[in-house]
Amino acid sequence: MMVTTPRTDLRVALFATCFNDTMWPETPKATVRLLERLGCRVEFPAAQTCCGQMLTNTGYAGEAVPLVRRFVDVFGDYDAVVAPSGSCVGSVRDQHAMVARRAGDEGLASEVEQVAPRVHELSEFLVDVLGVTDVGAWFPHRVTYHPTCHSLRLLRVGDRPLQLLRAVEGIDLVELPGADECCGFGGTFAMKNSDVSVAMGTDKAAHVAETGAEVVVAGDNSCLAHIGGILGRQGAGIRSLHLAEILASTREEPA
């Protein structure tokens, strides 16, 4: 049974992330639906763009400085910022201060350090801030969960996503072998080292298929695009879905 105390006292901002905004709008939509169902007032500050991770991780940290500036300006006043992406939250919490310092902007770095602790990946926000694991979701399918590297090793979300998934009504959650191994996406790595990336992804896809799951779920659409892209090419008939979409799924509005 879903138990929640509505947190209408919090000013919650959705950081949709540029990737989701452009390519996977269903994920931020599901995030809004889910958070509102749990009693949050969600705002989408339209001035937001991107965390700059792709630039930083490709070696262009200098080009990311205006994006760090923008992030702080757009989100600085909110009580909580929620993003359906472990990777983008990892970039804010782990890299933004470094990007600012590398550019010699100590002022910006300290502003980042004010905002960063209030930026949460979706499962962190649900479990740690709202204090819920049963979000009242319904998803009657066989599902396996891939913990993305940045959720696992940068954010240390631990088993929060699994706690949330276990509480979903009707779900048949099966363990993914070699779950903590990277899927091989890695941002521009997927293009610059495409052979190794595909070799890693092919092993991940094989593990997914081994579980007999109908759906592979993760907290990052970028990793899912890679795993799902390989599964799709193989004609495996396995869907990839973001965690937010399963948690938002109900009998009335199934994912």
Q: Which residues bind other proteins (CB under 8 A)?
A: 16, 18, 20-26, 28-29, 44, 46-50, 52, 54-64, 66-67, 70, 95, 98, 102, 149-150, 152-154, 180-182, 184-202, 221, 225-226, 228-230, 232-233
DSSP tag of 116:
G
Say whether 43 sits in a helix, a strand or coil. strand
In one-letter notation, the amino acid at residue 17 is T
Q: With respect to other proteins, which residue has the nearer C-beta, 147 or 173?
A: 147
In the bound complex, what is the minimum distance in angstroms from residue 155's beta carbon to other proteins?
10
Say whether 14 sits in a helix, a strand or coil. strand
Half-sphere exposure (CA, 13 Å, Cβ side) for 119? 29
Q: What are phi and psi of 105, to 5 degrees?
A: -105, 85
* Residue 62 to residue 10: CA distance in whole angstroms: 34
In the bound complex, what is the minimum distance in angstroms from residue 189's beta carbon to other proteins?
5
Q: With respect to other proteins, which residue has the nearer C-beta, 16 or 81?
A: 16
Q: With respect to other proteins, which residue has the nearer C-beta, 129 or 198?
A: 198
In the bound complex, what is the minimum distance in angstroms from residue 227's beta carbon to other proteins?
9
In the bound complex, what is the minimum distance in angstroms from residue 111's beta carbon to other proteins?
17
Q: With respect to other proteins, which residue has the nearer C-beta, 3 or 47?
A: 47
In the bound complex, what is the minimum distance in angstroms from residue 244's beta carbon to other proteins?
12
* Residue 70 to residue 47: CA distance in whole angstroms: 8
Q: With respect to other proteins, which residue has the nearer C-beta, 61 or 130?
A: 61
Provide the greatest CA pair distance for the chain: 52
* 124: its two tokens: 């962190």
Q: Are 135 and 207 in contact (CB under 8 A)?
A: no
* Residue 209 to residue 211: CA distance in whole angstroms: 5
In the bound complex, what is the minimum distance in angstroms from residue 207's beta carbon to other proteins?
12
Question: What is the distance, to the nearest Å, from the Cα of residue 90 to the centroid of all Cα atoms in its chain?
Answer: 9
Q: With respect to other proteins, which residue has the nearer C-beta, 139 or 185?
A: 185
